[in-house]
Structure 1
Amino acid sequence: MEWACIMTARMWFHNVFVPRDNKPITRPVLLGVVTMANLMGIGVVLLLVTVAIPAPNVFDPHVVWISEEVVPLYVAASIGLGWVWVTKRILDQLRWKNDDRPLTAKDQRNAFLAPWRLALVPMVLWTIGAVLFALLYGSVSPGYIPKFVFGFSFSGIVLSVSCYFFAELMLRPAAAVALEAGRPARRLSPGVMGRATASWLFGSGVPLIAIILAVAFALLERNMNVTELGAAVLLLTMTAFVFGLASNLIAAWLTATSVRDVHSALQRVEAGDLECQLEVFDGTELGELQRGFNAMVEGLRQRERIRDLFGRHVGRDVAAAAEGQQIELGGEERYVAVLFVDIIGSTRLVTARPAAEVVRLLNCFFAVIVEEVGRRHGLINKFQGDGTLVVFGAPAGVCSPETDALATARAIAHRLAAEVPECQAGIGVAAGIVLAGNVGAYERFEYTVIGEPVNIAARLCELAKTEPHGILASAQIVQASEPYEQTMWDLGRQVVLRGHGKRTRLARPRRAPHDRVAALCAGTNRK
């Protein structure tokens, strides 16, 4: 039952007082809270000076005119001219939040100082009241002076701090906009430690001191009986409980909401969401934590952009290898399959068409190659003018580089004929041992492959430009591929490739299935 009551009170507090969706709290709500708190303070003072500390009597015939005329007049003036009018003026300084204009340094300062000013108003009014009534009642009898100084000082301190915490909570949306405009030159709000200390000191510590003073005066003056002393202690204890609980609850809420937001955002980042951005609404170290989180996420986003750009330039596998190990110049021998693609008649293509159309065609041409190579986990080692060098088996190994290279060559030829018939291309495929690694200097290097298979693939690409399907492979790579892929190729004659002394047996793809014939027909007229 008690737990249910606590949870109900917590939900009510959150729904009524906590701003949501960065919507500003209306002035009537804030004015009502400040006024209600001070009216409660007036009630506490009246109980203190009439019930808890009855002597001297405030309704004595010599001072009754003060109690019945001056006190109500001062309370009415304080509420109307003080709490309502001054509070309204302070809130008017925050109207910029609804204006479509950039914030000035003055606007930002007003947002940060608003809780302080709203707390200063009751402090000033309670101080004036303490001095005024101590003088008025003290002019009749000096015994009234400690009574009113004690009562007004106690209520003024406790209520001013409570008003500060309420204002800081309710004006959080305005603080968020101000903090979004930039970091202030100096912090204008207490830190987390100061907030926690103030909530206890003024919410509970001051009432405890008041209880000690009440007991001490009763023992020294001996002008209170046990019942009156008990009433005074009971009243001060209830006040300490109510305002101490409110102050500590708000201070804890101000801290917990910031920590909860950061924790939730960290979970989103951990799940891979790098687009989350925290709203900075706290002027303490927690605000710095929120701002630091945003800076961290921005750094992660920039890192991902660089990683993506790096992967696009050198290939995903090369980028992953560079991240996972120390970069060293040199290389290692690897068995790879090499695929070389080159456009037929690129000079004629460039001179016969507008530049914009040439760029569009080249982008479509390379897009087909990138998609098909990526589908089989190959590496586009480099774009050489209108040609492309593709490697399967380095830096990341694959189960059957020969099969992947041959299947990719057939898929590229099929898609180019169907999707980019304007760009006819020759494709050469070979396999063998190459030297794969980083070549260059420590300041600038690139991952590449060097060896006979690269040269053979380039020479086969030249010969393939005269073939009907535009593809030639070495018989050696076809024979090393998986059985299904071998059925897609026919072995042909042996030729001596330019720059090679040994004879190389050629392999051509078999006639495509019927649904591919139409697509391939567009690419058969090659020169």
Structure 2
Amino acid sequence: MSRRRRVYAGRLAAGYGIRLTLAHLTAAAAVLAIIVALSRNTIGDARQLLTATNLTAFIVLVTASATVDGVVGAVGMRPVFKWFAEGAAPAPDQQRAALRIPVRQTAVEFGVWVVSGAVFMVLNINARGGVAYVIGGAILFGAMTTACIGYLITARTLRPIISAAMAGATGKVSMPGAFGRLVYVWVLFTAVPAAGIAVIVLARTHGWFLHRSAPIETPILVMVAVSLLLGLGATLLCARSISDPIREVVVAMREVGQGRTDVAVAVYEPSEIGRLQTGFNTMVAGLAERERLRELFGRYVGVDVARHALQTQPSLHGDVREVAVLYVDLIGSTAMAASRDPDEVAQILNDFFQIVVTTVEQCDGLINKFQGDAVLAVFGAPLHLEDPAAAALAAARTVAPRLRTLPETDFGIGVTFGAVFAGTVGAENRYEYTVIGDPVNEAARLADRAKESTGRVLCSTTALHHAATAERDRWRPCGTVLLRGRSAPTEMAEPAD
């Protein structure tokens, strides 16, 4: 793995440790402020809380607990950071370990505070009940605050690692979702401080652990300040843990709406937020697969037919309509197949078909089918055209000089106009869009006849009569012929230029 990846992982680990330490120190400062505000009015030997011994013990405990918190977090993270820094695929146990990091770190932080609080209580074991109440309540609040903020910091900072682990996660590990996080932040920084203020008021009223004459304005103001400051930080972290993934999904949805189907969002939470991210990626993958099938479908049956099939109820249906039919047939393909390698013959046919397909689509026609070395194109179905006859005649005039650029190939082109059945035929589990009618046969016979003409292009005068004057003027009559398989003669025309 590149050095850049290792540097990035190292910075991620360092930033993670610094943020956890700051969260721990912030909670400790809040606890100290609460203890100082309450201790002056506590019943019993409350002055013990402000002795040099207790202040020294508090500093030592805070430093030690912050160090233990960081060390335990670093030791627990080492295997995770190792495979992440190396860019390796994590093993199942490494995946589960990575996904459990936020919950495990939260438990460690809460446990460190509880142990520190127990040590502080032992140091003040001779003090009466008021001191114990103050210490216990403040330590519990500090533990809950550190655990909450630490969890939000862990979940946010380690998103790249959790995302990499969730790419192939095998274990079922869950995290609190949006509802749980919002409720916890509200309870910790609104309900708990409000309850603390209520307890202070009741304690002074009944003389539980505060003097009845003790001023409580300062402790209440401290509780409000702690609630506002810590609550603001926790609320911002909680809000961003919800808004960030939603914003990423919204941005990705905008890209999908613009036609991109190669977008994906990172999945970094085993919660309903993660399920939203996973569901979006699954949806986009389905859209990409559908688009690929649509493109493939369009390549086989034509874009217009594919769009028509997707917009209508799949069934065996069709109708009779007047269309123009263009038939292009390659001359000498049988001899070519006997004298050339198969791949060379395929290349010649592909070049031939490419010219015909491009020209027909430029003239708004539909390639109905490839028949060996021939192409059948329809103008006017399934999509309506204002002048299908003129479009087919223009395509015939345009494709002929283009086909002459192909080496060692010859062809015949026939165009006619008439009523056909246009629709899907086949069985319920296998459809084919086609046109059926005498104009199809007539166009094929004209293409055979055109192989013997100078310009290699012939049309029926029926097609000319249904074309606009501008296109009709570009053709000239060239006689009448009784085409094979037909009972009535066909009047023909060829390009005038």
Give the TM-score of the pair, scaled to structure 1: 0.86
8 Å CA contact retained: 1:50, 1:57:
no
Q: After superposition, where does 1:437-448 map in structure 2 within 5 Å?
A: 437-448=423-434
Are residues 1:501 and 2:487 paired? yes
Query: Cα 1:258–1:222, aligned 2, differ >3 Å: closer, same or farther?
Result: closer
| SS of 2:443 mapped into structure 1 | helix
Q: After superposition, where does 1:45-64 map in structure 2 within 5 Å?
A: 45-54=31-40, 55=42, 56=44, 60=48, 64=51
In structure 2, the partner of 1:453 is: 439
The answer for unaligned runs of 5 or more in structure 2 is: 1-7
The answer for unaligned runs of 5 or more in structure 1 is: 1-21, 512-527
2:189 to 190, 203, 206: 203
Q: Aligned equivalents of 2:378 and 2:37: distance in 1?
A: 94
Q: Aligned equivalents of 1:59 and 1:228: distance in 2?
A: 16
In structure 2, the partner of 1:5 is: none
8 Å CA contact retained: 2:326, 2:396:
yes
1:335 to 317, 322, 327: 322
Q: After superposition, where does 1:286-435 map in structure 2 within 5 Å?
A: 286-418=273-405, 420-435=406-421
Residue identity matched to 1:175? I
Taking only the aligned residue pairs, the percentage that are identical comes to 33
Q: Aligned equivalents of 2:46 and 2:18: distance in 1?
A: 29
Query: Cα 1:33–1:180, aligned 2, differ >3 Å: closer, same or farther?
Result: same
In structure 2, the partner of 1:231 is: 218
Structure 1 residue 256: Cα displacement: 1.1
Are residues 1:266 and 2:253 paired? yes
Q: After superposition, where does 1:245-260 map in structure 2 within 5 Å?
A: 245-260=232-247
Are residues 1:462 and 2:448 paired? yes
In structure 2, the partner of 1:155 is: 142
| SS of 1:506 mapped into structure 2 | strand
Q: Aligned equivalents of 1:392 and 1:478: distance in 2?
A: 14
Structure 1 residue 222: Cα displacement: 6.2
Query: Cα 1:417–1:215, aligned 2, differ >3 Å: closer, same or farther?
Result: same
Query: Cα 1:441–1:143, aligned 2, differ >3 Å: closer, same or farther?
Result: closer
Residue identity matched to 1:456? E
1:32 to 1, 12, 18: 18
8 Å CA contact retained: 1:24, 1:174:
no
Deviations 1:385-406 (A, max 9, x none): 1111111112222111211111
Query: Cα 1:392–1:128, aligned 2, differ >3 Å: closer, same or farther?
Result: same
In structure 1, the partner of 2:4 is: none
| SS of 1:26 mapped into structure 2 | helix
* RMSD of Structure 2 on Structure 1 (CA): 2.4
Residue identity matched to 2:397? R
Q: Aligned equivalents of 1:226 and 1:259: distance in 2?
A: 52
Give the TM-score of the pair, scaled to structure 2: 0.91
Residue identity matched to 1:369? V
Q: Aligned equivalents of 1:350 and 1:171: distance in 2?
A: 64
Query: Cα 1:143–1:509, aligned 2, differ >3 Å: closer, same or farther?
Result: closer
In structure 2, the partner of 1:6 is: none
How many residues get paired? 486
Structure 1 residue 143: Cα displacement: 4.8
8 Å CA contact retained: 1:490, 1:510:
yes
Are residues 1:216 and 2:202 paired? yes
Residue identity matched to 2:303? R
Residue identity matched to 1:504? T
Moved more, 324-333 or 219-228: 219-228
| SS of 1:139 mapped into structure 2 | coil
Structure 1 residue 326: Cα displacement: 2.7
Deviations 1:117-165 (A, max 9, x none): 2222331121112222212211355553223222212212222211111
Residue identity matched to 1:249? L
In structure 2, the partner of 1:17 is: none
Q: After superposition, where does 1:479-498 map in structure 2 within 5 Å?
A: 479-498=465-484
In structure 2, the partner of 1:521 is: none
Structure 1 residue 507: Cα displacement: 1.3
Residue identity matched to 1:472? L
Residue identity matched to 2:108? V
In structure 2, the partner of 1:16 is: none
8 Å CA contact retained: 1:341, 1:461:
yes
8 Å CA contact retained: 2:322, 2:420:
yes
Q: Aligned equivalents of 1:53 and 1:179: distance in 2?
A: 49
Q: Aligned equivalents of 1:201 and 1:67: distance in 2?
A: 30
| SS of 1:408 mapped into structure 2 | helix
Structure 1 residue 228: Cα displacement: 4.6
Q: Aligned equivalents of 1:38 and 1:135: distance in 2?
A: 22
Q: Aligned equivalents of 1:45 and 1:432: distance in 2?
A: 92
Are residues 1:93 and 2:73 paired? no
